[in-house]
Structure 1
Amino acid sequence: MLASWLERLTGPRAPAGYRPGATLQRVWRNLGLTDVQSVAAFTYREDGPRIEVRERTESHLLMHLVMCEFILRVPAVGQGTLQAELHHTGALRRTGLACRRRGGDQGLFEALESRLEEVRAALMPLDFKRLVIECRDGQWQVTLEHMGASEVVNRMPAFRRYIPLDIEQRKHLWRAFDALERLLREL
């Protein structure tokens, strides 16, 4: 009895007011697609890569955020493990991209970092909050969390606001995934 009470108190749980799949449905409409699932996958052109989209929540005091992660998987040519994070540089204006190794092989990280200039043009105009590139078990995985395609839910005062993925940013997103897929297939 005590264990179940403690698990309920400290265990992971969805934030109050969270509606699973609601933000994903709006993102689906922004993308011009109709079939919605809790874990959705699609291609944005016939010969394009398969992109998976899933919701992620982040709780704060009296509010929570629902963000959508776009995930690209590419088979790895070589072996090794890596976890790297990319972010924009510049205090007021974007001046470039920085890559930080979070774990894995230093040699694989240096190979990735040396080729980042190839994807710079595609990533610079993209409004992303988080971009993680991982390699493990013979597969690359890119997880991109866009600033749009998210929802802010506040409890006091009560409001819910969806931040759409606009057409311009959608085009930048597709260019970025195309560039990253080409880069990772050759790495």
Structure 2
Amino acid sequence: MSGRATTIGGVASAAGWRRWLAPGPVPGYRRGATLARVAADLEATLAMPDDGDAARMTLSDGIALRADERVDRQFLLHTVSVQLERTLAGPDANGSASIAASGWVRRGPVAATLARGADAHFAARVATLLATPALDAPLAALDLTYCELVASGPRWTLRIVPFGGSEVVGRMPSFRRYVRLADAQRDALRAAFAGFETALARVQDD
């Protein structure tokens, strides 16, 4: 094979890999399917907009949540998880913090890692929030993929991506596996969003 033919073949091969790895529709992804299963697990009502915006999930106790699907695309498979968030009025502060359970061998209370730029008011109030059993206990009981507290002025948001309520979809071999959000995990998630309101009220009373 000539050098020119080898070069052309290499370019074609590289172009093929770029097409394979390029962003685009995820094969096998069914928009809204995982959200619907999570809503069923939580015994919640789900409103899906037609314009692609976030869905609205309402729990049986009236708590309204913003709900989004997050798709993590990997080679020959993808994972769909659901991000749930509740936004409430609270004291003025600015910042964000990731929340995770402490302890390696035995799970302990949750702890916050402040993002750069968080102000002192935010740091102090996050500490108070997480010291409130109504919020700390259910968060510590949850298997979390991700959790975050965010404040933007008087608007406070608790954002949770639970491990339960996620789906893994493979292409080779073809499979689809959903991890239910059930029993203790379901109850802890519901309690966390209810406890967020209780904890914020405590912060405002201080």
Assess same fold via TM > 0.5: yes
Aligned match of 1:105: 119
The answer to whether the 8 A contact 1:81-1:136 is kept is: yes
Unaligned runs of at least 5 residues, structure 1: 1-7
Aligned match of 1:4: none
Aligned match of 2:14: none
The answer to whether the 8 A contact 2:35-2:68 is kept is: yes
How many angstroms does 1:167 deviate by? 2.9
TM-score, with structure 1 as normaliser: 0.83
Pair 1:75 & 2:89 matched? yes
Change (3 A) 1:141 1:35: closer
The residue correspondences of 1:1-187 to structure 2 (distance < 5 A) are 12-33=23-44, 35-37=46-48, 39-46=54-61, 48-78=62-92, 80-103=93-116, 104-118=118-132, 119-185=135-201, 186-187=203-204
How many angstroms does 1:153 deviate by? 0.8
Task: For CA contacts below 8 A with separation 6 or more, give which structure has more relative contact order.
Answer: 1
The structure with more radius of gyration: 2
Query: RMSD in angstroms over aligned alpha carbons?
Result: 2.4
Following TM superposition, the consecutive aligned residue runs of length 4 or more in structure 1 with deviations greater than 3 angstroms are 8-14, 33-36
Change (3 A) 1:183 1:34: closer
**Identity %, equivalent residues:** 30
The answer to whether the 8 A contact 1:30-1:164 is kept is: yes
Which structure: greater helix fraction?
2
Unaligned runs of at least 5 residues, structure 2: 1-17
TM-score, with structure 2 as normaliser: 0.76
The answer to whether the 8 A contact 2:47-2:56 is kept is: no
Q: C-alpha distance in 1, partners of 2:153/2:125?
A: 18
Q: C-alpha distance in 2, partners of 1:28/1:122?
A: 19
Query: Any idea what SS the aligned residue of 1:91 has?
Result: coil
User: What residue identity is the alignment partner of 2:82?
Assistant: C
How many angstroms does 1:35 deviate by? 4.4
